[in-house]
Copies of this chain bind each other. A is one copy, B any other.
């Protein structure tokens, strides 16, 4: 199980009732994220979650309809965090492959600092399929727009729109499997992705997708 320390802050400054409710909700969601990230969706019991959140089991049902409900909300919650992180750590004015590389590094960076995210994302296809599908829809949508701009800039040539969608799935897939293989050590702890892996990815991308001089 995850740490048995409560997530409840020790020094809760005076809060209004509504604030406190919001806080409890956040607490439960964070606890759920931690538990799922550590033990997986299948072993994420309400009892573990509430214990970590420092509330009674019954309290859980004041905020979520069911166990499945909280599982469904996990990926949207973390996914938005991740996208925000990536957006905020992308340097302006990058174009072409350099932009792709920055994006990739930002993704791995988020993974490195949020060790629970990988499992939440990966297992979601099994345990929260709709959330997973929606997450993908958002990712693919954003990626399509980005690649569309690259096409307009003439950086990418020779792929029609449908082909580009397929390519996007390949790139997202590659990220995930690279993370699975290279971003964790023997003990399952996360770590940075080796440089040569990023280089291989970029080489493939530069040659295969971008039409560089």
A174 to B204, CA, bound (A): 13
User: Is the CB of A209 closer than 8 A to any CB of chain B?
Assistant: yes
Q: Known: A126-B40, A208-B209. Is A174-B178 also a contact (CB below 8 A)? A: no
Closest Cβ of chain B: how far from A207's Cβ, in Å? 5
Given contacts A123-B126, A162-B196, A208-B209, contact A170 B170 (CB under 8 A): yes
User: Per-residue 0/1 for A191-210: is the Cβ within 8 Å of any B Cβ (1 yes, 0 no)?
Assistant: 00000110111011111110
Most chain B CB atoms below 10 A, which of A127, A160, A174: A174
Question: Which residue on B lies nearest to A205, using beta carbons?
Answer: B208
Q: List 6 A-B contacts (CB under 8 A).
A: A125-B180, A166-B197, A172-B177, A173-B176, A205-B208, A208-B209
Q: Which residues of A contact B (CB under 8 A)?
A: 40, 42, 122-123, 125-127, 158-160, 162-164, 166-167, 169-170, 172-174, 176-178, 180-182, 196-197, 199-201, 203-209
